[in-house]
């Protein structure tokens, strides 16, 4: 326990962490100021060393397996709050700083996302039972950052506002051809078709496409929406608009040129532009956390803004507009977490208790990444010409008003 105590004593500066080690001895770290108190118990002596060398992955796996339990009314959310309040000191601890440098080198090799590997990695997450996602998503199965005009908006209101906001940015005209890269369960495709577009939607998840096609048929829009089971690198065509929501963070390390190259090559020569909605980090290029990489989004990587803009610069694309949603994903995941917790018993019937603990850890960790970490969401408008997008942003608000009156 000496090594772990040294790490926690050096890094827990806000809030308080109370740890019962495997012998039952209580250790306390932090003053309790500027944060909550979390109490946990370790049931395996091996954890003392594992948590020192790889705290994120070891804590997650121990929580999943039940060898780390939360005590005295502590929730996973409180535990993760204490962790993320102290993330800067943890990253600066000599052993952790060294490991992160190693991980960054290894990650470049691990995340060589060729087409077949990328398909497999996406299906790892998105081919889970749709019934699981129905437990905590809105009725439209929107699995990306919503758009909250107020923190107290319902999830349904915020997701509907997100779809309207994105469609407004597309500035659609009747029968425009739109390419969607990463189609999810079809809500955005339906909304664009209702606004008059003809949509081709790419997706590599057969489970999602099956549900999306059912929803499009139910909406009577099958003549306006076509789903294609292909990776973006396998596809060619010419489109007036391209939209990609929650996809760029899945392309992987070193793939941004391929991604934006596809966007560039698929845009019409005159007047075409793309709307790119993605998580991004405010810090310099980094790594994907080992828990998220191993269990949740293998191959995923949240790029730094410097990496994104470097790719658009190399490919000669104009970034015509950029909007940054700083807290919207915090509110979104907050609502997902609460809904999942309320229906946790149903999730356990679909999978098992270990899966539920993994999902709890995942939702709490990613929520904290948008509250106390380095993540936010960006919406970019990119084109091949400087004048493809209207030169003032009024068109977005005007289109939103029109779309809201029509819906």
- pLDDT score at 127: 67
pLDDT at residue 107, as a whole number: 63
Four-point Cα dihedral 311, 235, 145, 390, nearest 10: 70
| 8 Å CB contact between 27 and 2 | no
How far, in Å, CA of 86 to CA of 63, rounded?
19
Question: Scanning the structure block, which residue is given the tokens 């003392």?
Answer: 48
Q: Which of 259, 263, 303 is nearest to 281 (CA)?
A: 303
| pLDDT at res. 115 | 67
C-alpha–C-alpha distance, residues 86 and 109, integer Å: 29
- CA proximity to 249, closest of 200, 291, 282, 288: 288
CA distance 82 to 78: 6
Would you state the structure tokens that stand for residue 251, as one six-digit string?
Answer: 């392309």
Q: Distance between CA atoms of 182 and 4, rounded to whole angstroms? A: 42
How distant, in Å, are the alpha carbons of 9, 208, 277, 305 from that of 322? 41, 29, 10, 11
Cβ–Cβ < 8 Å for 260, 317: yes
Asked if residue 234 lies in contact with residue 204, where contact means CB atoms within 8 angstroms, the answer is no
Answering whether pTM is above 0.95, one says: no
Provide the b/e sequence for 299-311 (b: ≥16 CB within 10 Å): bbbbbbbebbbeb
Query: CA 363, CA 135: separation in Å to the nearest integer?
Result: 13
φ/ψ of residue 377, rounded to 5? -120, 140
Exposure string for 207-238, b = 16+ CB within 10 A, e = fewer: bbbebbbebbeebebeebbebbeebbbeeeee
pLDDT by residue for the chain (407 residues), tens only, comes to: 888 998 899 899 999 999 999 999 999 999 888 899 999 999 999 999 999 988 999 999 999 999 999 999 999 999 999 999 998 866 667 777 777 677 666 665 655 666 666 556 655 566 688 999 999 999 999 999 999 999 999 999 999 999 999 999 999 999 999 999 999 999 999 999 999 999 999 999 999 999 999 999 999 999 999 999 999 999 999 999 999 999 999 998 889 999 999 999 999 989 999 999 999 999 999 888 889 999 998 889 999 999 999 999 999 999 999 999 999 999 999 999 999 999 999 999 999 999 999 999 999 999 999 999 999 999 999 999 999 999 999 999 999 999 998 76
């Amino acid at each position: 326990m000496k090594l772990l105590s040294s790490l926690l004593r050096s890094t827990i500066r806000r809030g308080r962490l109370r740890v019962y080690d495997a012998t039952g001895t209580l250790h306390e770290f932090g003053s309790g100021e500027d944060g909550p108190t979390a109490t946990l118990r370790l049931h395996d002596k091996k954890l003392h060393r594992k948590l020192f060398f790889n705290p994120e992955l070891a804590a997650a796996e121990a929580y999943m397996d039940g060898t780390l339990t939360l005590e005295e009314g502590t929730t996973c959310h409180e535990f993760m709050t204490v962790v993320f309040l102290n993330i800067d000191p943890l990253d600066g601890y000599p052993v952790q700083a060294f490991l992160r440098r190693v991980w960054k080198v290894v990650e470049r090799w691990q995340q060589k996302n060729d087409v077949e590997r990328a398909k497999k990695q996406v299906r790892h997450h998105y081919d889970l039972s749709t019934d699981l996602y129905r437990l905590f998503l809105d009725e439209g199965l929107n699995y990306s950052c919503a758009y909250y005009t107020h923190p107290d908006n319902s999830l349904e209101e915020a997701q509907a506002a997100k779809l309207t906001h994105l469609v407004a940015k597309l500035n659609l005209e009747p029968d425009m051809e739109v390419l969607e890269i990463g189609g999810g369960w079809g809500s955005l495709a339906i909304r664009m078709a209702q606004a008059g577009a003809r949509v081709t939607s790419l997706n590599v998840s057969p489970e999602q496409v099956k549900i999306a096609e059912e929803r499009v048929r139910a909406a009577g829009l099958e003549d306006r929406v076509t789903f294609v089971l292909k990776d973006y690198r396998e596809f060619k065509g010419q489109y007036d608009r391209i939209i990609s929501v929650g996809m760029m963070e899945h392309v992987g390390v070193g793939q941004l040129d391929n991604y934006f190259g596809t966007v560039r090559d698929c845009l019409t020569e005159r007047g075409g532009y793309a709307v790119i909605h993605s998580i991004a980090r405010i810090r310099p290029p980094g790594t994907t956390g080992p828990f998220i990489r191993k269990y949740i989004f293998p191959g995923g990587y949240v790029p730094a803004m410097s990496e994104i803009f470097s790719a658009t610069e190399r490919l000669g694309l104009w970034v015509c507009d950029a909007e940054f949603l700083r807290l919207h994903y915090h509110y979104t995941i907050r609502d997902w977490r609460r809904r999942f917790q309320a229906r946790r018993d149903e999730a356990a019937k679909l999978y098992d208790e270990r899966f539920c603990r993994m999902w709890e850890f995942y939702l709490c960790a990613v929520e904290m990444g948008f509250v106390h970490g380095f993540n936010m969401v960006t919406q970019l408008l990119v084109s091949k010409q400087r004048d493809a997008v209207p030169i003032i942003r009024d068109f977005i608000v005007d289109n939103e008003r029109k779309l809201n009156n029509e819906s």
